[in-house]
Amino acid sequence: MKQFTLTICSAAILLFSCNNDAEKTTEAKADTTKMTEQTTAKETTPPAAMPDSVTMMKNWQSYMTPGDVHKMMASWDGTWNTESTSWMAPGAPPMVSKGTSVNKMALGGRYQISNHKGMMMGQPFEGMSMTGYDNAKKMFVSTWIDNMGTGIMKMEGPWDEASKSMTLTGKCVDPMMGNGKEMELKEVFKIVDDKTQMMEMYGPGPDGKEFKMMELKFTKK
């Protein structure tokens, strides 16, 4: 009787196992079918309609044509005296230096190249920026390189006509950390008047919180 009971239990366990496996197999097949249907749907979904050739050429023409913002940038051409105030950390003594910046539009008035010279931490400093206004993104875009590093800083952001300013955000390597990691930066550039401009640079302090790292005043000659 005991052997018979064991046999019945074994058969029941085997039957349950088989049924469970069958259910799993059915579920697996259903999942596979569903995935296949989804993949097929993705493969058969038509791409976004391409504009006709005339529209594409118009779009390109619009993208490449300098506009009012580029004309405003051109008014910044010339030689500017600069006064820089920088801080290594919040509350640290400021470091003040003076220099010059020469702006010149390039490539048919599409970009402005700026060459900066001065002193930084007791050493001769040279830097170069390229600034443009992307007609498609409706944003300013800029790059910066200097003799204090070997990387390229890239930033972008919108223009605010009411305050005559742009706020750019981007990243660059923090050279003092020595690990190649990038830090978040913010630049606020403001037109004070025809002969005066201000730029403020913000970045993370020792506690990770944003603070003003530098303030740069431009006075046109």
Mean pLDDT of each 10-residue bin along the chain, 221 residues long: 37 39 48 54 68 92 97 98 94 94 98 95 93 98 96 97 97 89 96 97 93 97 94
pLDDT at position 176: 84
Whether 102 and 115 have beta carbons less than 8 Å apart is answered as yes
pLDDT at position 49: 84
Q: What is the pTM of this model?
A: 0.75
Nearest Cα to Cα of residue 112 among 64, 84, 78, 73: 73
pLDDT at position 18: 40
SS3 92: coil
Residue whose entry in the numeric block shows the structure tokens 């700026």:
114
pLDDT at position 37: 56
pLDDT at position 24: 46
Residue whose entry in the numeric block shows the structure tokens 């390109």:
60
